[in-house]
Amino acid sequence: MCPRLAALLLLCALPAWADAPLRLWHAYRGAEETALEQAVARFTEDTGTKVELLALPYDAFSSKLTAAIPHGVGPDVFLYAHEKLRSFREKALLAPSDARLVRADYLPNALSALTLDGVTYGYPLSLKCLALYYDKDRVSSPPTTTDGWLEQLGQLSQPAQGQFGLAYEAGDFYFHAPFLFGFGGRLFDDAGRAEFQSEPMARSLAFVLGLHRRGYVPEEASGALVKSLFNAHRVAMVISGPWFAGEIDPAIRWGVAPLPTVSTTGKPMSPFLGVEAAFVSSRSTQPDKAQSLAHALSVGDGAFLRTTVGHQVPADLATLRTDAVKRDAFISHFRDAAQSAVPMPHELEMQKMWEPMKLALRALLQGGTTADEAGALADRRYRALHRPAPADASPLPWLAGAGALLLLAAAWAWVTRPREPFRKRYPEAARGLLYVAPAAAGVVTLILVPFAFGIGMSLFHHEPNGSYRFVGGANFADILQSRGYAVTEPLSFYFTLAVTVAWALVNVVLHVGLGLLLALVLKDPLLRLRGVYRVLLILPWAIPNYITALTWKGLFHRQFGAINGLLAALGVEPISWFTRFSTSFAANVVTNTWLGFPFMMVVSLGALQSIPQDLYEAAEVDGASKWTQFRRITLPLLRPALLPSVILGSVWTFNMFNIIYLVSGGEPGGATDILVSEAYRWAFQRNEQYGFAAAYSVLIFCVLWLYTTATRRLTQPEVA
């Protein structure tokens, strides 16, 4: 590199760096995002400091922060709920708030949510908790007790006409927590471990089950479904948070009220309280300006804009006292609800509760378990997911082994090296290498390095606090011994492997069968509109598969899906597709067959068209019927073209993550998960067990490697 050019570049970069804008990351959308932009603009106006906003998808936000900040490429300020506070602090992502934070300015429970061991991090922005939305045209006064509520719901619900009293995302523990607290339950036992098996838990589950059984609540409700039902006047009440206000049709007259009190216990149904805060990154290069931005967003104009434009419930007392905010019934209702809410614990133990509770709730609502036993189910899952960390192992034997392998490989390369010098054999090597270099670099960075990294990681145990410990083959041993659960349980590697093999087999048979059948139909040159059919049949392949998957997911919905609608029209009892293994598996297979047959059709069509027509004529004269021609001529001649596609297709299907994740989502209880989706869950949904997930991936690789080695023999051209 020319030194003068480098100096020039540096010169250009320097002033820009000195005046670099603050980076602010958030996951806001819609009105909240608009309000944030306005508040930031006001900040820039007042201080002259430029701010660069970056909106990230909520699902990826946390992992993005965890990955970016330690490498110095993250934001200066980011907006996040307080529940991850402890995890963020353990990863050293946060800088404590400085003297700008005046404690008297904020609601006390918002501040306490941001305080850890006496140190406060970030500036509280807004409060988020659940409350009861109601349709004023149908509900004159919101319920105050569960008894009154049940009475109202009974009058409002007519499930046969698709009319429901209440809708909420019942399969999510975040929405179930108010019921648990209302019935007197708690999250952790005295030792601080998550508690699933308790009397209040069973009673809260029984209550929720009752709501569903009586048809007061629609089944399998997602956020989108809740919204569309409320906007269509088909549901009178909704449990949701402040974000829901932005989704309601302006034509609807609605109100918000705190959740009612449970009549039998006299306790309020307290929701979780989430405090959203502006956190300052520990690696910010302009900490003073960053603190000033975070502070400015939490009070004064910043808070006022977020409240009036973004419909947030501010944590800032001054804003809450302004007339405009006081007159806003929506804000004051949520402020009231927030005062009785339970701040979401930021203990790591909390993170471990979600999946077991989700499993228990779904199993309960789908009839897979009873209210009394659901807690035990969750507890069992909890124990399975949070296996005790394997003992540390010494990396020395492994390093020695790897070294020995490397030496052996080097020795072998030396022994088998060609006698002729490299330059003589490949006189144009330099130019050739130049051409190959870009592709080789891609292969190395995108395939070889991650592959080696994955193998390495499978030998480690990862703790949610970000530390890695070397455990040798313990992850593999645990997986292969199916430790902690029976072989017949969905969490077992062998169960999942069997499901995966069945999945690949059924799919490939259907893909090839259907593809071949359609190819045979389309082959006929006299078929009218052949080109049109061909394009139509290839379309499923051309559409991004996650769109197709989500479409099918909707078609399979228990109450609102078109497939059950069709069955109902035929007089067949609607099927709850994702509550039983067989139907859930079938739904996955149908979706993937829809996606997969066009490829096999195109391959078969090409192969069919390359078979000379006169072979069929010769066979016809020889006395072969159409079926015999297909069996004795078509099939054997298709084999060479079809076999590689079948092998390729089965490998694709084996790792078809999207369909499983989006259509059945592993339901019921993870039974339809395949190996890749299971590996994903271990890595990202079950306490960040990256090493365990990596071991899963290595095992997947081994299975596929064995499979392709076995089938390679079949595809090799025949030798005379």
Partner 1 sequence: MSSVTLTNVHKAFGTTRIVKGVDLEVRSGEFLVMVGPSGCGKTTLLRLIAGLESPDLGDILIDGARVTDTPPRDRDVAMVFQSYALYPHMTVRENMAFGLELRKLPRKDIQSRVEEAAAQLELSKLLDRKPKELSGGQRQRVAMGRALVRRPKIFLFDEPLSNLDTALRVQMRGELARLHRKLGATMIYVTHDQVEAMTLASRVAVFNGGKLQQVGAPLELYNAPANHFVATFLGSPSMNFLPAHREGTFLKGPGFQLHCPVDLGDLRDVKVGLRPQDLRIQSDGEFTGTVDAVERLGSDGYAFLTTPAGPLVSRFDRGTQVSVGETVKVCLLSNALHVFSSDGEAAILHPGDARPRVEVVA
Least distance to partner 1, CB of residue 517, Å: 22
Supply the DSSP string of 629-681, one letter for each residue: HIIIIIHHHHHHHHHHHHHHHHHHHHT-HHHIIIIITTTTTTTT--HHHHHHH
Q: Which is nearer to partner 1, 151 or 617 (CB)?
A: 617
Q: Which stretch binds partner 1 (CB under 8 A): 187-195, 491-499, 568-576, 616-624?
A: 616-624
What are residue 465's phi and psi, to 5 degrees?
-80, 5
For 486-506, give the secondary structure using H, E and C.
CCCCCCCHHHHHHHHHHHHHH
Q: How far is it, in rounded angstroms, from Cα 503 to Cα 494? A: 14
Residue 617 interacts with partner 1 (CB under 8 A): yes or no: yes
What are residue 157's phi and psi, to 5 degrees?
-95, 130
Report yes or no: 472 and 692 within 8 Å, Cβ to Cβ: no
Q: How far is it, in rounded angstroms, from Cα 273 to Cα 131? A: 11
Residue 637 interacts with partner 1 (CB under 8 A): yes or no: yes
Residue 614 interacts with partner 1 (CB under 8 A): yes or no: yes
Q: Which stretch binds partner 1 (CB under 8 A): 93-101, 126-134, 379-387, 630-638?
A: 630-638
Q: Which is nearer to partner 1, 421 or 717 (CB)?
A: 717
Supply the DSSP string of 609-643, one letter for each residue: HTS-HHHHHHHHHHT--HHHHIIIIIHHHHHHHHH
Least distance to partner 1, CB of residue 563, Å: 43
Which of 532, 569, 621, 719 is in the footprint of partner 1 by CB under 8 A? 621
Report yes or no: 24 and 53 within 8 Å, Cβ to Cβ: yes
Q: Which stretch binds partner 1 (CB under 8 A): 151-159, 167-175, 348-356, 627-635?
A: 627-635
Q: Which is nearer to partner 1, 425 or 632 (CB)?
A: 632
User: What's the token pair of residue 41?
Assistant: 């603009």
Residue 249 interacts with partner 1 (CB under 8 A): yes or no: no
Residue 641 interacts with partner 1 (CB under 8 A): yes or no: no
What are residue 278's phi and psi, to 5 degrees?
-95, 110
Annotate each residue in 567-606 with x if it binds partner 1 (CB under 8 A) or - if it does not, as one string: ----------------------------------------
Tell me whether the omega of the peptide bond preceding residue 668 falls within 30 degrees of 0, making it cis: yes
Residue 326 interacts with partner 1 (CB under 8 A): yes or no: no
Residue 618 interacts with partner 1 (CB under 8 A): yes or no: yes
Least distance to partner 1, CB of residue 613, Å: 9
The CA-to-CA distance between both ends of the chain, in Å, stands at 58
Q: Which stretch binds partner 1 (CB under 8 A): 247-255, 355-363, 478-486, 626-634?
A: 626-634
Report yes or no: 308 and 323 within 8 Å, Cβ to Cβ: no
Residue 609 interacts with partner 1 (CB under 8 A): yes or no: no
Residue 625 interacts with partner 1 (CB under 8 A): yes or no: yes
Which of 2, 636, 709, 717 is in the footprint of partner 1 by CB under 8 A? 636
Q: Which is nearer to partner 1, 388 or 612 (CB)?
A: 612
Count of residues that interact with partner 1, criterion CB under 8 A = 18
Report yes or no: 132 and 258 within 8 Å, Cβ to Cβ: yes
Using only the alpha carbons of the chain, give its radius of gyration: 31
Q: Which stretch binds partner 1 (CB under 8 A): 269-277, 433-441, 617-625, 665-673?
A: 617-625
User: What's the token pair of residue 716?
Assistant: 């090799």
Residues in touch with partner 1 (CB under 8 A): 612, 614-615, 617-625, 628, 632-633, 636-637, 720
